[in-house]
Amino acid sequence: MPKISVITAAYGPSAHHLAEAARSVQAQQLPPGWSLEWIVQEDGDNPVLANMLGAHAHYDRNGTRLGIAATRNLALARATGALVQNLDHDDVLLPHALATLIARFEQHPIHWAVGAADDLLEDGTRQSWDSALPFGLIPAGHVNQWAEQHGGNWPVHGGGLMMRTDTLRAIGGWTGIPVDDDLAALAAISELADGWNDRTVTWLYRKHRAQTTQNSLYAGLEDTGRRIALQRAKAIRNIAGPTLSTGAAFDSDSADVEVGPNIKLTP
């Protein structure tokens, strides 16, 4: 049975909307034959979220503050699905979200897909946006070419991506930077492989004062993540080009590995 892993990096002091994210995962209407695992990884020195989550969540904690990229990657290490769906702890998946995008992977040899998103405002209203890209199949490199032509602003939101798990692991997971780690991962995957931009609104991007992008800890880094993403896309284009195949349809065994004792810790 193919499986999809929904990955959520959470941080207690700003996880005010985690319960709503949890309800949105539980409400997913999966295609026949598919199963779902929700992997929640909590960042921070003082974990507080375990009791807020039901038994359906595969929860673990960092035990220290590592940042969002490392937290997502620790969750990725526990993923056993052939596909990964990112879900930030303050965003919402609409009930048809996973089924809509899974169907695109079944129909096309793609490595990533994203649905349209409405902004979810603090008063509970939604604001929609027109897509800057055409809907449907997006050729490798097209997303980053658009970004290069528009001052390092991307027409696709990395926070809503569904990706092949093996592809995400192959590029090193979410990029290890304090901001825009999802954007830099999108830059790499979309430069290497075709994807899909779906016209269906599949998720809600919450706009609120406590979100990471408005955190004063990241003052001065507003442009750094986008610059790194552009550099990454250009480097891949220069030395690699689109060479990825889709491999076996949804037969992901990359999580089925074993490690022995760490010889560096042996006396």
**What is the reported pTM?**
0.91
In the predicted model, what is the mean pLDDT of residues 198-218?
77
State how far the alpha carbon of 37 is from the alpha carbons of 56, 65, 162, in Å: 8, 24, 14
210 has pLDDT over 90: no
Quick check: 222 pLDDT over 90? Answer: no
The domains located in the chain, with CATH, are: 3-243 (3.90.550.10)
Tell me the three-class secondary structure of 204-249, residue by residue. EEECCCCCHHHCHHHCCCCCHHHHHHHHHHHHHHHHCCCCCCCCCC
Confidence of residue 240 (pLDDT cuts 50, 70, 90): confident
For the chain, what percentages of helix, strand and coil (3-state, to nearest 5) are there? 35, 20, 45
Say if residues 183 and 68 touch (Cβ distance below 8 Å).
no
For 100: left if phi > 0, alpha if psi spans -120 to 50, otherwise beta; the answer is alpha
Of the given ranges (16-20, 22-26, 151-155, 250-254), which has the lowest mean pLDDT? 250-254
Contact status, residue 22 vs residue 89, Cβ threshold 8 Å: no
> Are the beta carbons of 92 and 203 closer than 8 angstroms?
yes
| pLDDT at residue number 163 | 97
Assess contact for 57 and 22: CB atoms under 8 A. yes
Helices (H), 108-180: 142-149, 165-170
**E strands along 44-145, which residues?**
57-61, 83-86, 92-93, 112-120, 126-127, 136-138
Percent of the chain beyond pLDDT 70? 88
Average pLDDT of span 228-236: 94
